[in-house]
Structure 1
Amino acid sequence: MKKTITVLLTVSGALLVAAAPAQAAAKDPVRALKAEMVAGHGVRFTETANWSDGLDTLQAYTNKGVFQFGKKGPVGYDIASIAYDDAKDRAISIGRNTYYSGEYVADFLPKGKTWFRFEGGGAMPFLYAQVLNPAEPATLSALLAKGTKAGSKVTGKITFKDLDKVSPWFSGSDLSDWAGDTEVSYTLTLTSAGLVSKLSSSFRAEGTKNEYADFEGDIIEVDTRYTGWGSKVSVKAPDPKTVTGNSSG
């Protein structure tokens, strides 16, 4: 009987050891993300953006939105933003256009119009938005490559120059004209399925231009939470009757 028990324990132990690597195998986050790239589906997010001059910190904005996916990455978004003074803005990007409403464009809206249309789609719409977009496979791949993984977290730094190479979200934004050696520090948190659940980032503004000159040296920190990966999402352009501005067709 003792011999039988010993043999069973030995065999069972061998099976457990053999099975362990498969159970412990980490999910590939980029592969997990690409699996969610189904037309008409997407991911939802909420975020808080803080401004700091290095001494004082102010909660500047809270944002809530969705990314809609195509086969290779985001093809649209709808983001609502509330400022520290309760000013409200909204940005919708679909196709080759981005539409804005609220305080941001209030002075440019003629009577009867509530949306202003700009040429170009898919870029980061506000300064106080998450500068890193982990819903872009190439961007997520770069963040993983430049970061160090510990448990479910990946921590690292990436420059504006490197972001410009991989991220349409960043390269199409005004920030792409700032100093290329600006470093963004970040921490990604991954779910057991390999998808991003949280992303914290911060950077010090350098080489700011035009209307952003007053931000030189300031620090922008954004904490974002992602939920509902793969859920159904529908981003639609505003009613044309409510839109003014430019169009790329």
Structure 2
Amino acid sequence: MVATGNGDPVIRLTVTGGVARIALDRAAVRNALPVGAWHDLATAAAQVPEDARAVMLASDVPGIFCAGADLADLARLSDDVAARGTFREAMRAGIEAIAALPMPVVAAVEGGCHGAGVALALACDVIVATTDARFAIPPARLGIGYPAPDVARLVARVGRGQAARLLFTAAPVDAGEAQRIGLVDLLGEATEVVAQIAANDAAALRLLKHAITDPASPNHDRLFERSFASARFAKGVATYRKP
């Protein structure tokens, strides 16, 4: 399945063996996403099958994850006041659609990850980066801000001090430094992590993600207790039951 942007496909969705792969594909501008592509990202997320056990957010362009928002779109915002809200809402729709997926989402970061690309990775549950990955959040250099929900996710991941450093300096960090400060969880190939996740029970994965993202939910205890009725649990403990 493919969600298309204006003209050539920008966001691609494929599903294989219980794993949904959402890929960015706009090589000419290093996967910088225009307004329409953010909406297509939300559409792709909505098309992920309910029984998918994991989602991998990746790039089909070698050497780059995402250069952020399309600079052509950003340039128009200087004079087009009405377009500012349209741009903000489109970007928010795409990022929050990824964050709202009920199954685990792994960001596979290869090469550059800049600006809104970092916000997109932050919407995922696990960030896996190759050793050539580089991260930068440059809005301070451009004279603009960064959306509050994305700042909040950054602070939650790396702490207030490191978040301030990344935002205030706009300086890039390499994969090793990103892992050291907690922006990246693992260095290596995301496909291995996704395969490990997908080997587990789909319902259990959803329940565990629910507990991580909403630990105060009043339904969690009930859902936890109900999980003991699952067929996978029954099969797993069958050998321990007394005849």
Q: State whether TM-score is above 0.5.
A: no
Superposition TM-score tier, normalisation by shorter sequence:
under 0.3
Whichever structure has more helix as a proportion of its residues is 2
Between Structure 1 and Structure 2, the one with more strand by share is 1
Q: Which has the larger radius of gyration?
A: 1
Which fold has the larger relative contact order, with Cα–Cα distance below 8 Å and residues 6 or more apart in sequence?
1
TM-score, normalising length: structure 1: 0.27
TM-score, with length taken from structure 2: 0.27
